[in-house]
Chain A
Amino acid sequence: MENLGTIGYSEEQVELMEVATNFCRDKSPMDKVRALLDDDAGFDSAIWQEIADLGWLAIAIPEEYEGVGLSLSEVVPIAEQMGKNLMTTPFADVTLAAQAILMAGSAAQKAQYLPQIAAGTLASLALSEANGDWDLSNISAAANAKPNGSGDDYILSGEKLLVPYAAQADIIIVSILVDGAVRLAIIPRGDIVADDAMRREQIIDETRRTYAVTLDGISIGGDQLLDADKTQAALDHVHLAANLLQSAEMSGGTIAVIDYTLDYLKTRKQFGKVIGEYQALKHPITNAYVDYEKARSHLYSAAHCFNDQGRGEVATRMAKATIDKAYSFAADRAIQFHGGFGFTHDCDAQLYRRAAIWHASQHGDATYHRAKLADLLF
């Protein structure tokens, strides 16, 4: 099993962990999280600006494009703290969009867009469609050459779903078929003009915003397409990077919901006892904690090995598969252990449970990743 990863950390990771721990705790108290549930955009633009000012959107962008020149490993502790405080912003989505351009963009595209993203331009990825498939190459949206054009101008058709923060995005990177091959194209938000082209979706995680985006009738030039030869590699990379950052958010969410439940178990009394004395509650919450620590080891192994050929993929899939189970279990038990209060919208347990369902639904759940791992390992 030479493709099993190891674990380690960088000084930068530790520094960012410390800064992010304080920032996310201070900027995202629960009353703020709750207030944003009813907000149209779903995030606070002032805080978003602070995130950009901190340079966090530029971490994994090379210095030659005005980025910080670190890697996704250093993004992990930040995403973890965001997940812990349910601080939901386009942070991960923008980071992933930059990765797509970095992997498959032309020299001109990289030079144009990466510095913009590093400085706070909101970019998003439109990869999902109605088939619900986690395989990013199973799509039917298409770009057709205009009948009497020069040959490098296209008209788009089809619909992309679950596009994060599309309404606020400055640019959207869409996956489309060109002559039957999957390609990525960069579309300025301003080109999506039809009145009904964008619909806010109702999603399980109320802290988040996604949109259905109709591509019908949008025109693009050939220079908006990313490199055909690098597209599949870029999609594979985005898939794994998305799972890495999700695993980080989920790790933070898992310990947060365990701590939230522990507070209740230590204060709530029934039958003359603090309910945390009962082993029927004590042992399952301990099991949840043990599962969390194991999954977190996988997460920091994935962060450490992410760029190692082979090992990175195994470690990342292990991280997502284990943290999905751990988060789901911890949040599920959190609802149950809060009793009647747990059944209410006011109880925070549901926020975490919904976040866990959301993360499982995007880029593969535990079962999906285990199936992929079987092929990688055996």
Chain B
Amino acid sequence: MATDGAKKPSEAELKDYEAQADAWFRENTPKDPGFMLPLTFMEVSTDQQFEFLCDWQRKVYEAGYLGTSWPAEYGGGGMHPDYQRISTRMMKKYDGPIILNAIGIGWAGPLLLDIGSEEDKHKYIKGMLNADDIWCQGFSEPEHGSDLGSAQLKAVRDGDEYVLSGSKIWTSLGDRAKYMILLARTSNDGPSKYAGLSFFLIPMKIPGIETRRIKKLTGEYGFVQSFFTDARVPAEGLVGKEGDGWMVAMKTLEYERGAKVNPAGGYYLKELDAMGVVDLARNSQRGGKPLLDDPVMRDKMVEQMMEIQALNLNNQRRRMAPLNQDKPMGLAMMNKLARTEMIRDLTEFSLGFQGTRAGYYVGDENAVDDGYWHRSYLNSFSATIGGGTSEIQRNIVAEHVLGLPKGR
């Protein structure tokens, strides 16, 4: 969602900007805070982590390196998207902490800038960027995980309010968020289950909404189940018209899946240090010899390296139209599936290096890399399941790229 008409910068301007951003992130990227930081916005477990990440996001925003290309009148930097790409790259270069407000900046923000009212843009955008207003997303329900279209949480119009009742689940940051983007059912009478869905922006800290933290397989917290009991929200929170919910939700998923190249994206998840696996293997022993002397492990390691390299190359090739003529959307549509599965596979593989120490977990002084690999492996399922499971992703690629029919 770039500022319309922001001037394409010259090479020299970009170079200057890069030097400036490079210096800023070199100077300001926090070093080890002394406690474990979340690798993704889905893993914020403690107040300490939350406050640290809010502070970091605010600092990046105030320095001009977040929302750089969003319109200035709403709180953005008003600059060309090329600038944001550079600052994002610099943030990664210095291995900065994640940007916390992923649902705000990655989903709700682009949506508002795309189809939101003038009033909404003024109301919401700046708070997203400076971390004053954390956002969460209420799509999944306990009975409807991958099948979002069947969402049942009810929204009934009552004067200038809607009354919400039902439950949402897997809501990252749900206990800390000020706002939620919500998919709710306003009707059961439409021609299809999708036709009865509507999309809302709602406040979270109101009577009738309660959240319960969910303990994850890692032992940490990060998301909640939320319960709506006749919660009354302002009707102006409706995005589009009643019944447009599915279309609007699909738009936000497009931002999420990166099918549209969103210049603001890319910093909500900490990239796994894949090459760290090689160091891990180098430092591991088997039979008194370096693990990487073992031909079987060497072979498996090469397979992992080829996989990592393929996905890095895919990301570059995605932007090269002549190398994508046959199935132009293929690389974009398969990216989520390929990347999340690669990380699950790689982190699982990394456990096999650690010998007896693979038995340790986060919190023990003998855990390899403080349990980073175990935690990463267990957390990797949040990405192979969340945002559409890998199985659903295969259906999406099969149907939208390969043209296979939908199953009935």
B334→A377 contact, CB < 8 A:
no
A194 smallest CB distance to B (angstroms): 45
Picked from B301, B397, B398, the residue with its CB within 8 Å of the CB of A378 is: B301
> A78 CA to B314 CA in the complex, in Å?
21
Give the secondary structure class of A's interface. helix
- Chain A residue nearest to B290 (CB atoms) is A378
B292 at the interface (CB under 8 A from A): yes
Choose among A265, A274, A297, A374 the residue that contacts B301 (Cβ–Cβ < 8 A).
Answer: A374
Beta-carbon contact of A378 and B395 below 8 Å: no
Collect the chain B residues with CB atoms within 8 Å of residue A205's CB. none
A288 closest partner in B (C-beta) = B402
- Given the known A-B contacts A283-B391, A289-B401, A322-B306, are A14 and B298 also in contact in the complex, defined by CB atoms under 8 Å? no
- Tell me the bound Cα distance from A378 to B303 in angstroms: 13
CB of A282 closer than 8 Å to a CB of B: yes
Task: List chain A residues, Cβ under 8 A from B310.
Answer: 294-295, 297-298, 318, 322
For residue A373, CB closer than 8 A to chain B, the reply is yes
> In the complex, what residues of B have CB within 8 A of residue A107's CB?
none
Residues of A within 8 A of B406 (CB): 277
* Residues of chain A with a CB closer than 8 A to B282's CB: 378
Q: How far is the CA of A262 from the CA of B317 in the complex (A)?
A: 24
Query: How many pairs of residues, A versus B, come closer than 8 Å at their CB atoms?
Result: 131
Contact B298 A294 (CB under 8 A): no
Contacts of B394 in A (CB 8 A): 279, 282-283, 286-287
Give the interface centre of B305, B320, B326 by most chain A CB atoms within 10 Å.
B305
Known A1-B275, A293-B330; contact A276-B397, beta-carbon cutoff 8 A? no
Docked-complex contact A300 and B323, CB < 8 angstroms: yes
Closest Cβ–Cβ distance, residue B311 to chain A (whole Å) = 7
Query: CB within 8 Å of A: which of B379-402?
Result: 391, 394-395, 397-398, 401-402
CA distance A277 to B398 in the complex (A): 10
Q: Can you name the residue of chain A whose Cβ is closest to the Cβ of B399?
A: A282
Q: Does A362 contact B (CB under 8 A)?
A: no
Which residues of B are found within 8 Å of A8, using beta-carbon distances? 320
Q: How far is the CA of A195 from the CA of B338 in the complex (A)?
A: 56
Task: List the A side residues contacting B326 at CB < 8 Å.
Answer: 255
* Known contacts A276-B405, A300-B317, A301-B313; A282 and B337 CB within 8 A of each other: no
How many Å lie between the Cα of A277 and that of B330 in the bound state? 19
Per-residue interface assignment for chain A, residues 251 to 281, with 1 indicating a CB less than 8 Å from any chain B CB and 0 otherwise: 0000100100010011000000110111100
Interface centre among A14, A286, A301, A321 (most CB of B within 10 A): A286
- Residues A278 and B407 in contact in the complex (CB < 8 Å), given A7-B317, A297-B317, A298-B306: yes
In this assembly, does B66 line the interface, its C-beta being within 8 Å of a C-beta of chain A? no
Say yes or no for A34: interface residue by CB 8 A criterion. Answer: no
Assembly CA distance A289 to B301 (angstroms):
23
Output the nearest chain B residue to A374 by Cβ-Cβ distance.
Answer: B298
Residues on B with beta carbons closer than 8 Å to the beta carbon of A289: 330, 334, 397, 401-402
**B299's contact among A258, A301, A318, A367, by CB below 8 Å, is which?**
A367
- Distance A13 CA – B320 CA, assembled complex (angstroms): 13
Does A290 lie within 8 Å of B397, measured CB to CB? yes
Please determine whether B316 and A293 come into contact, CB atoms closer than 8 angstroms.
Answer: no
Q: Shortest Cβ distance from B324 into chain A, in angstroms?
A: 9
What string of 1s and 0s marks CB contacts (under 8 Å) between B281-306 and chain A? 11000000000100100110111011
Q: Which residues in B have their C-beta under 8 angstroms from that of A297?
A: 310, 313-314, 316-317
B331: CB under 8 A from chain A?
A: yes
Interface assignment of A370: CB less than 8 Å from any CB of chain B = yes
Query: What 1/0 flags go to B84-121 for Cβ under 8 Å of A?
Result: 00000000000000000000000000000000000000
Is A235 an interface position by the 8 A CB rule? no
A153 to chain B minimum Cβ distance, whole angstroms, is 46
A294 touches B317 (CB 8 A): no
**Which residues from chain A contact B320 at a C-beta distance below 8 Å?**
7-9
- Contact among B313, B316, B325, B398 for A282, CB-based, below 8 A: B398
Task: Assess A262 versus B314: contact at CB under 8 Å? Given A4-B309, A277-B408, A370-B299.
Answer: no
Query: CA separation between A238 and B404, bound complex, in Å?
Result: 41
Inter-chain CA distance A377–B274, complex, in Å, is 14
Q: Which residue of B lies closest to A295 (CB)?
A: B310
What are 11 A-B interface contacts by the 8 Å CB criterion? A1-B275, A7-B316, A7-B317, A8-B320, A279-B391, A279-B395, A282-B394, A282-B398, A294-B307, A297-B310, A298-B313
User: Footprint of A on B, CB under 8 Å?
Assistant: 275, 278, 281-282, 292, 295, 298-299, 301-303, 305-307, 309-311, 313-314, 316-317, 320, 322-323, 325-326, 330-331, 334, 337-338, 391, 394-395, 397-398, 401-408
Using A9-B322, A298-B306 as known contacts, list a sample of 4 further A-B pairs with CB atoms less than 8 Å apart, ordered by residue number in A.
Answer: A9-B323, A255-B326, A262-B402, A322-B306
The 8 A-B pairs of least Cβ separation, nearest first, read A294-B310, A297-B313, A374-B298, A276-B404, A14-B322, A370-B302, A277-B407, A282-B398
